[in-house]
Amino acid sequence: MQVFKFGGASVNSAEAVKNMASIVRRYYGPKLVVVVSAMGKTTNKLEQLVPGVISSADSRRQHLDELKDYHYTMVRALFADDPQNAIFPRLDELFLQLQHQTERRPSNYNFDYDQTVSFGEIISTTIVSHYLNHIGLANEWLDIRSLLRTDNHYREGQVVWGITETNMRHMPDSPLVITQGFIAGTSDGHTTTLGREGSDYSAAILSYCLNAESMTIWKDVPGFLNADPKFFANTVKIEQIPYNEAIELAYYGASVIHPKTVKPIQNKGIPLHIKSFLDPEKEGSAIGPFRTIKPRTPLYIFKNDQVLLSILPKDFSFIAEDNLQTIFAALAKTGIRVNLMQNSALSFSLCIDNNPILLKQLREELAHSFRLRYNEGLQLITIRYYTQEIIDSIVAGRPILLQQRSRTTTQLIVGNK
Ligand code: ASP
Ligand code: MG
């Protein structure tokens, strides 16, 4: 059994869905489970439709109409030769449900978010499943919310592994199963999500629970590259990545896989392939039980719009355990994720994504005992397998505000010239 994951970009047009179908056809065999995300930028649009986000009914209507247009245009193109296909009334029904959902009175934002945004995956998989049946790839559509169980931590559902594993016995007995990434269900039947970009993680959960032979993420890049091609002209494709290395890279912010994805498949020794849906014959990258990365080339991860925050005790005490405890409690309470930290005797420094709302909350939490100093508009650069020459060429004369090095990895916070 194999598990495939197709992200939003792989199903963002009728052409893309046809291409995705050609890949599925090639691997149609004894058992294939296919996890699909919402189409294109649908999730971003749905975020606007969460009750309470937009107050004007007119502009809500407009967003909904745009989403409808986008999906119906695609479906009309996919089923041009079959205008009576059951997808049309089914889509009408789903959009009516979505409309009712968007008209609900706002309650808890995180709860409302999951009940609304999950429509993206329900709609995309319904379209894909109907289309594959239509072209002769018999399949069964699975509502993953009935099998993948999380707690009721909305927007960041925590997987209840025992129940999820047991539930997997009810996996449909079809050679091809089409199901949703990103979404899950609670014990009382509500929808949860696993966090943005969580479909990779969904595929990993399924791979784990079903003891898959392998998992494949189909992407618009040829594999795991040593840098984001948006920022780097000459990228190198990594052929083999040990599990632990992949976890570290995802942790530092490599955007190619979701950070939670690797652990479950590592625990069962399942290989994870990253391949291009534009060039499916080509060998991609493999994450697996390898001893070393191949080729061993410098790897770069950039995070822009960073803030360096220095926290200083007002009473001139040292940064000792009790002060750190207060700082960490405030970070946990505000939900700020720390990208890098360093402490000295008199101050504690943190590098975080710029989020003015959360920063204000943090300042309020700490104002009583600490002074806070900020430096904004910075870049956090992580380089694995660095040399001094590489650092110099990347930093290119910009001021370095802070640097950490281990044997293999260096992280630098740099400002502007
Ligand atoms: N559709 C969701 C998102 O855009 C999940 C995913 O794509 O992985 O965040
Ligand atoms: Mg997506």
Measured in Å, residue 57 CA sits from the centre of ligand 2 at 26
Residues 93-119 pLDDT 10s: 999 999 999 999 999 999 999 999 999
**Ligand 1 and 245: CB distance under 6 A:** no
Q: Are 122 and 38 in contact (CB under 8 A)?
A: no
Instruction: Please report the sign of the dihedral spanned by the C-alpha atoms of residue 141, residue 146, residue 149, residue 153.
Output: positive
Nearest listed ligand to the Cα of residue 47: 1
Count of other CB atoms within 10 angstroms of residue 342: 16
* Atom number, ligand 1, closest to the C-alpha of residue 202: 8
The model's pTM: 0.90
Instruction: Give bridge partners of residue 253 from the DSSP assignment.
Output: none
- For residue 165, the surrounding DSSP H or E stretch is helix 161-167
CA pair distance 88, 78, nearest whole angstrom: 11
**Ligand 1 and 40: CB distance under 6 A:** no
Q: Which of 187, 63, 178, 172 is nearest to 117 (CA)?
A: 63
Residues 53-87 pLDDT 10s: 998 999 999 999 999 999 999 999 999 999 999 99
**Ligand 1 and 193: CB distance under 6 A:** no
What pLDDT, on a 0 to 100 scale, did the predictor assign at position 138? 98
Q: Which of 98, 101, 102, 96 is nearest to 55 (CA)?
A: 102
Measured in Å, residue 66 CA sits from the centre of ligand 1 at 19
- The DSSP call for residue 343 is E
CA pair distance 304, 394, nearest whole angstrom: 14
Q: Are 279 and 222 in contact (CB under 8 A)?
A: yes
Query: With pLDDT > 90 as the criterion, what percentage of the chain qualifies?
Result: 89
Three-state secondary-structure class, residue 62: helix
Rg (CA), the chain: 23
Both tokens of residue 284?
A: 């991609």
Q: Are 20 and 6 in contact (CB under 8 A)?
A: yes
CA pair distance 343, 58, nearest whole angstrom: 51
What pLDDT, on a 0 to 100 scale, did the predictor assign at position 395? 96
* Res. 316: pLDDT tops 80: no
* Res. 252: pLDDT tops 90: no
Ligand 1 mutation target, pool 182, 191, 193, most atoms within 8 A of CB: 182
Nearest listed ligand to the Cα of residue 40: 2
Query: With pLDDT > 70 as the criterion, what percentage of the chain qualifies?
Result: 100
CA pair distance 377, 270, nearest whole angstrom: 40
Q: Are 350 and 366 in contact (CB under 8 A)?
A: no
Nearest listed ligand to the Cα of residue 124: 1
* Atom number, ligand 1, closest to the C-alpha of residue 121: 1
- Share of the chain residues as helix, strand and coil, in percent rounded to the nearest 5: 40, 25, 35
What pLDDT, on a 0 to 100 scale, did the predictor assign at position 124? 98
* Atom number, ligand 1, closest to the C-alpha of residue 195: 9
- φ/ψ of 3, rounded to 5, equals -115, 130
Q: Are 111 and 190 in contact (CB under 8 A)?
A: yes
Which amino acid residue places its CA nearest to atom 3 of ligand 1?
197
What pLDDT, on a 0 to 100 scale, did the predictor assign at position 56? 92
